[in-house]
Copies of this chain bind each other. A is one copy, B any other.
Amino acid sequence: MENKATSTKEVIYLKIAKLLEKQIKSNVLRVGEKLPSIREVSRKRGVSISTAQAAYWELERKKLIFSKPKSGYFVNNWNKHKHRLPETSNPNLETIDKQKSDLLINIYDTIADKNIVQFSLGIPSPDYLPIAKLNKSVVRATRELKNCGVEYENIEGNALLRRHIAKWAINYNLNVNENDVITTTGCINAVAYCLMAVAKSGDVVAVESPAYYGILQLCQSLGLKILELPTNPATGIDLEALEMVLKNYKIKACILISNMNNPLGYSMPDENKKTVVELITKYSVPLIEDDIYGELYFESKRPDTCKTYDTEGMVMLCNSFSKTLAPGYRVGWIIPGKFREKILKLKSINTISVTALTHQAVADFLDSERYENHLRKLRNALHANSLLFQKTISEHFPADIKLSQPKGGFFLWLELHEGINTLEIYYEAIKHNISITPGKMFTLQDQFSNCMRLSYGLNWEERTEKSLIFLGQIITKQYNRLKN
């Protein structure tokens, strides 16, 4: 009897799994979409919780679905074409200070143009942001702040905000207090102060390759020379190359985006982070760590930062709420280690005060469970988008492209056939109101001209899907031209 009952149960759970599999394969349940909860399946199908659970385990085993803590089960990118990862980059180890502004497309020219499908901007769709709640926080901020925020803040920045940032740091195993935090006008402003604190015009800084173009431009505008390091699309900068460079070059700072890297999407393994910190400490070269995507992980837990392993105060950790709450609020911060006094001075000289009102509004928003709940939804939405993008790319882009596998954040990095120039693709796509970011923007050297970065931060809707498919057609045309 027991055997029979077990076997019936087996049949039932397999039946349910089969049914869901059909729905998944026929796109009734879309890639990235959330499945009904186990409790719901149990109730609706009239089966036990354990039977429903068994059905989901079966689907998970088949890689058709995956689970996320506190969020439930989601449809996986089940038919994914196994694109290879791009190769480890191989830049020349030379310091470069050439101005490349002519080559650069100004990505921000069209920043507010709603006619353009922005595969180029690394910002979340406003649909993903808690706008109504933030509005309430703004109104409360006018009440809470002395003189309603018309006055300058003190130089370190909003105390409540700094306390929340310090509390939140425990999630990446960093133990700091509010005095270890300095607020800034967004993250790039934070990185600028860190650079100004440790390097001056003519000095050399080391970056990843590809590197976020905003950091390259910032370094150039400060007159710094740039040394690009070989970078693996799954694990980040090559540690041997880093040590060689720290040993043999006069480097004034390293700048890394160690988590959910822009543009490659990797998170550096914790072991590597530890090693990086040991190396920069050994050679007394400060590390500027840009952790702006740190909260937007797709896996089960928040990755650590390099700062987590920093015992000597050599790491300046930069971040902001621009990728998670409100880019237009301009709320960023630095955990500056031993460079605190220098950075405070630079802040007082260069901006005196940040915008008191929006900083208090964010502090107010953080003063509850709202942020964690919002982040969970945002991560799920971005994760779903990333899967939908990967699926669509598999179906509509040439089969031999190489594709990154983002651990979170906003970006996919595509490496096309080496005969393809993505700057041409950019110009072709923008004619059709589609904006991409050509690979050339991520280096000062002669590389990545066949690469591009795509952002999946925008809302997945018909127009998004069609534009992505259309982009695939543009690329396919270029491939066909190559063959002829």
Q: Which A residues are within 8 Å of any B CB, using their own CB?
A: 101, 106, 108-109, 111-112, 123, 126, 129, 131, 134-135, 138-139, 142, 145, 147-155, 185-186, 188-189, 192, 196, 200-202, 214, 217-218, 221, 223, 325-330, 345-346, 348-358
When the two chains form their complex, are residues B330 and A353 in contact, meaning their CB atoms are under 8 A apart?
Answer: yes
When the two chains form their complex, are residues A351 and B138 in contact, meaning their CB atoms are under 8 A apart?
Answer: no
- Given the known inter-chain contacts A329-B357, A351-B186, A355-B355, please indicate yes or no for A111 contacting B152, CB distance below 8 A: yes
Residue on B nearest A202 in the bound complex, by CB: B201
When the two chains form their complex, are residues B150 and A349 in contact, meaning their CB atoms are under 8 A apart?
Answer: no
Residue on B nearest A217 in the bound complex, by CB: B349
A81 → chain B closest CB, angstroms: 34
When the two chains form their complex, are residues A153 and B328 in contact, meaning their CB atoms are under 8 A apart?
Answer: yes
Residue on B nearest A191 in the bound complex, by CB: B350
When the two chains form their complex, are residues B151 and A327 in contact, meaning their CB atoms are under 8 A apart?
Answer: yes
When the two chains form their complex, are residues B214 and A349 in contact, meaning their CB atoms are under 8 A apart?
Answer: yes
Inter-chain CA distance A354–B358, complex, in Å, is 11
Partner of A201, one of B109, B223, B350, B358: B223
Q: Which residues of B contact A126 (CB under 8 A)?
A: 147, 150-151
Partner of A357, one of B148, B351, B357: B357
Q: Which residues of B contact A106 (CB under 8 A)?
A: 155, 345, 348
Inter-chain CA distance A370–B293, complex, in Å, is 42
When the two chains form their complex, are residues B185 and A200 in contact, meaning their CB atoms are under 8 A apart?
Answer: no
Partner of A148, one of B131, B147, B327, B350: B131
Q: Which residues of B contact A154 (CB under 8 A)?
A: 108, 111-112
Inter-chain CA distance A24–B327, complex, in Å, is 56
Residue on B nearest A346 in the bound complex, by CB: B221
When the two chains form their complex, are residues A108 and B186 in contact, meaning their CB atoms are under 8 A apart?
Answer: no
Q: Which residues of B contact A108 (CB under 8 A)?
A: 152, 154-155, 348, 352
Q: Which residues of B contact A327 (CB under 8 A)?
A: 150-152, 352-353
Inter-chain CA distance A126–B147, complex, in Å, is 7
Q: Which residues of B contact A330 (CB under 8 A)?
A: 185, 351, 353-355
When the two chains form their complex, are residues B353 and A355 in contact, meaning their CB atoms are under 8 A apart?
Answer: no
Q: Which residues of B contact A349 (CB under 8 A)?
A: 188, 214, 217-218, 221
Inter-chain CA distance A356–B196, complex, in Å, is 26
Residue on B nearest A213 in the bound complex, by CB: B349
- Given the known inter-chain contacts A150-B126, A355-B330, please indicate yes or no for A350 contacting B223, CB distance below 8 A: no
- Given the known inter-chain contacts A111-B154, A201-B223, A327-B353, please indicate yes or no for A138 contacting B142, CB distance below 8 A: yes
Inter-chain CA distance A188–B354, complex, in Å, is 12
Q: Which residues of B contact A223 (CB under 8 A)?
A: 200-201
A138 → chain B closest CB, angstroms: 6
Residue on B nearest A134 in the bound complex, by CB: B150
Q: Which residues of B contact A135 (CB under 8 A)?
A: 142, 148
Q: Which residues of B contact A142 (CB under 8 A)?
A: 135, 138
When the two chains form their complex, are residues B188 and A352 in contact, meaning their CB atoms are under 8 A apart?
Answer: yes
Residue on B nearest A357 in the bound complex, by CB: B358
Inter-chain CA distance A483–B139, complex, in Å, is 59
A59 → chain B closest CB, angstroms: 37
When the two chains form their complex, are residues A350 and B221 in contact, meaning their CB atoms are under 8 A apart?
Answer: yes
Partner of A185, one of B112, B185, B329, B348: B185
Q: Which residues of B contact A188 (CB under 8 A)?
A: 349-352
Q: Which residues of B contact A148 (CB under 8 A)?
A: 131, 134-135
Q: Which residues of B contact A196 (CB under 8 A)?
A: 221
When the two chains form their complex, are residues A112 and B151 in contact, meaning their CB atoms are under 8 A apart?
Answer: yes
When the two chains form their complex, are residues B111 and A155 in contact, meaning their CB atoms are under 8 A apart?
Answer: yes
Residue on B nearest A149 in the bound complex, by CB: B328
Inter-chain CA distance A192–B196, complex, in Å, is 13
Partner of A356, one of B218, B221, B328: B328
